[in-house]
Structure 1
């Protein structure tokens, strides 16, 4: 899974690796670094194995994300952005491989501040706020990954080969993109099996159209990069309403059901849309308290019966077939599917005096994802409860998170729940 290191630069970010190219600093090249280390205990899904050995529970250490960014404003109109790194490296990962360019784009400002156009491998995409999350500033342990709706199916960890336009019109912030999807055959999700359940088509992909629009009622958020801040920690008053979409003709296919079995292959369009609201505000500036809240509704149409299981940095690699539930091994659950998804998160930044001025602050949070997927007979709810210890804002942060996820039978009936507890240390500058 994916995302970018930092979002937009704020006035409070003064210490940075930055080379000025002109006297006033408006032309510059900047570098950043991020590393997120996870230490995790997981209750395994039924039948889980690691190299054939049954594992009712696992304990692992891993690198969730390690990233380097280099980007800059070369002239008044020319901007470039690159990001290099890797995701999800744990004890089961292949060694000495995995780092790659997440982003590589060039951009030209036709009307600076109003209209910029660019192209490359990029996260300028549509749908919803956290389809392009700033992972260095997310509220919880992880972003709501279901919003990265084609992640590693027809894109590269949410990044897409796109021609895009972005900018502002008053308080309206917009982004539009024309994308060349990657073929499913080059993804590790590829399977050649035909099914009456929808999956990504193996025919050459047609162009994808996407957009996202935000009306920013209070403070204006920057749009230098596509990545959206998860929590401003009381440095801004932000209230945004957003709406977005992704559409692609004939992106999906499935086999028709007939009385005698299966029939012809039928192509269907990929049609996704979402609406969301984001609110972030200081409560008592002298005490340092703040509130962060986000809610979203998504309607996903991947075609009949589409359902995708995902386990972030899965700590297992096998399952005993006759014991397995629908999601399979490790920590996986049905994250993506045709249907509706409701999501909400809220966090509270506590007074600095709770720990002392030199010990940072605490930020407890709660998140809920509830999905009504067509292929499941019961609703799917995943909850996260945790706390951030902000030693130095997002620059040095320890997070403790408890996640509780559902189990389903192969018929889509809820049959129990499992948990995982994760501690993360994040550093970025």
Structure 2
């Protein structure tokens, strides 16, 4: 009993609830400040888990492993709840009943992170959680083999990796391996979702999501680092077969789809040139959406993903042709203060994406789709119901966003501030007759930075009808979402 009490006292002295600045996030990095110590008369100085500066509020769950705080282990929790009204695409059904519109309540993301610098050279990272959990989770009532489905099967490991810092206290080279979102193509292929400006990320940038990856994560060997103004990450990945995606793969036809035969490695890389402050670099992969005026960031970026014979299609009636997956992008990102005295800041992103999934590849996707089926076929494609639109396809996409952080004392008395934003995704796909435009307009109420915020978002999107071998826009629909995010 005495030993147990002593152990509890030691843990209590080291494991405390501390707060980081409100702009920190799952993909953020805060350099450990000078270590604070607790001393009583007649007692030796010992390490404390407190890592902020004197006088700041604290809400960080972190345990320091050494006196300086350079070795630590940390746990974070995040939940995003959606209340949504959606105008359904034509033909939409919900549990076999036609629905012109829907209202649903869901959990967009629920996550737990556990990570830390456990020695001078070793970093450990895990993330566990679930996504897109609404009333249709586990639907249909029976799987294709006739067994009952289970709405409780949702949570899984998103990330599990170890990373080795080659040069002590220098970010020049980090080598890691495991299940990871370290990615090529763009910053939005590996977003820190707790710190984004908009309610949700442009998911098209997570190019193979849930097709040959696990919610954008892959089993990879990677190297990343920062050398002067250059930030880089390169990876060789072992993609999952499309047969393990949980959905019935499309039949082999004249349009390209992920191949059901063969297995090749995937190569990817992302390179950034940083003109002013350096970006956060602690958590593997994840890139911050906005620092809320705490940093001065201007970057140019270029990225790619390539995989040989990843796709296939049928020429004529018998010949099977394999095609490479080749994706690349260039973009610029800006996030900086406008007036440091009032706390105003601006955030902007503009990117060009050249996407080659093979001839006429096209995939509809609806985020946490509130509909279960459709009675109206669109080009023989699946998943066209509810709030879906052509999110992934062979062609060219331009994506842009702009946000403005208003003054910190907007409501007075520490009641938070507002961050309004706009988004636009313009896609020129081979299989679509006209350029697709999806537009979002929204506002964040930052109650306590990213740690507690409400977001109201309106999206306007096109819906489609069959036009020969292509699809053509036939009108537009909208959805309105209120999200509450809490993060510690």
Unmatched 5+ stretches in structure 1:
none
Please give the alpha-carbon distance, in whole angstroms, between the structure 2 residues aligned to 1:84 and 1:359: 32
Give a deviation string over 1:73-105, Cα, whole Å, max 9, x none. 011101110000000000111322210000000
CA contact (8 A) 2:181 2:218 kept: yes
Please give the alpha-carbon distance, in whole angstroms, between the structure 2 residues aligned to 1:87 and 1:322: 27
Partner in structure 2 of residue 232 of structure 1: 291
Distance 1:395 1:101, change over 3 A: same
RMSD: 1.7
Partner in structure 1 of residue 182 of structure 2: 124
Distance 1:323 1:343, change over 3 A: closer
Does 2:346 match 1:291? yes
Q: Greater relative contact order (Cα 8 A, min sep 6): structure 1 or 2?
A: 1
Please give the alpha-carbon distance, in whole angstroms, between the structure 2 residues aligned to 1:39 and 1:181: 34
1:275 to 301, 314, 330: 330
Please give the alpha-carbon distance, in whole angstroms, between the structure 2 residues aligned to 1:5 and 1:96: 28
What is the TM-score normalised by the length of structure 1?
Answer: 0.96
Larger strand percent: 1
Please give the alpha-carbon distance, in whole angstroms, between the structure 2 residues aligned to 1:325 and 1:176: 37
Does 2:358 match 1:303? yes
SS at match of 1:415: strand
1:190 deviation in Å?
3.7
1:7 deviation in Å?
1.2
1:219 to 262, 268, 277: 277
Unmatched 5+ stretches in structure 2:
1-23, 34-50, 53-57, 139-150
Partner in structure 1 of residue 477 of structure 2: 418
Does 2:166 match 1:146? no
Please give the alpha-carbon distance, in whole angstroms, between the structure 2 residues aligned to 1:233 and 1:184: 39
CA contact (8 A) 1:29 1:70 kept: yes
CA contact (8 A) 2:110 2:129 kept: yes
1:356 deviation in Å?
1.3
Give a deviation string over 1:154-187, Cα, whole Å, max 9, x none. 0000000000000111110000000001000001
What is the TM-score normalised by the length of structure 2?
Answer: 0.84
Partner in structure 2 of residue 98 of structure 1: 154
Give a deviation string over 1:304-325, Cα, whole Å, max 9, x none. 0000100000001011136999
Please give the alpha-carbon distance, in whole angstroms, between the structure 2 residues aligned to 1:307 and 1:189: 16
Moved more, 36-45 or 217-226: 217-226
Does 2:108 match 1:52? no
Please give the alpha-carbon distance, in whole angstroms, between the structure 1 residues aligned to 2:119 and 2:292: 32
CA contact (8 A) 2:447 2:454 kept: yes
1:263 deviation in Å?
3.2
1:348 to 404, 418, 443: 404
SS at match of 2:447: strand
Give a deviation string over 1:253-281, Cα, whole Å, max 9, x none. 0011x3xxx33110010000001111011
Partner in structure 1 of residue 10 of structure 2: none
Moved more, 64-73 or 313-322: 313-322
1:379 to 428, 435, 447: 435
Moved more, 5-14 or 156-165: 5-14
1:140 deviation in Å?
0.5
Partner in structure 2 of residue 137 of structure 1: 195
Give a deviation string over 1:349-387, Cα, whole Å, max 9, x none. 112333114210001100000000010010100000000
Please give the alpha-carbon distance, in whole angstroms, between the structure 1 residues aligned to 2:254 and 2:314: 4
Partner in structure 2 of residue 250 of structure 1: 309
Distance 1:192 1:31, change over 3 A: same
SS at match of 2:342: coil
Question: How many pairs are equivalent?
Answer: 422
Distance 1:304 1:114, change over 3 A: same
1:9 deviation in Å?
2.3
CA contact (8 A) 2:250 2:257 kept: no
SS at match of 1:219: coil
Partner in structure 2 of residue 37 of structure 1: 81
Partner in structure 1 of residue 255 of structure 2: 197
SS at match of 2:449: strand
Partner in structure 1 of residue 27 of structure 2: 7
SS at match of 2:204: helix
SS at match of 1:388: strand
Please give the alpha-carbon distance, in whole angstroms, between the structure 2 residues aligned to 1:353 and 1:78: 41
1:10 deviation in Å?
3.1
Please give the alpha-carbon distance, in whole angstroms, between the structure 2 residues aligned to 1:294 and 1:63: 27
Please give the alpha-carbon distance, in whole angstroms, between the structure 1 residues aligned to 2:113 and 2:378: 44
1:116 deviation in Å?
1.0
1:36 deviation in Å?
0.1
SS at match of 1:392: coil
CA contact (8 A) 2:183 2:235 kept: yes
1:342 deviation in Å?
0.0
Partner in structure 1 of residue 321 of structure 2: 266
Give a deviation string over 1:385-411, Cα, whole Å, max 9, x none. 000000000000000000001112122
SS at match of 1:413: strand
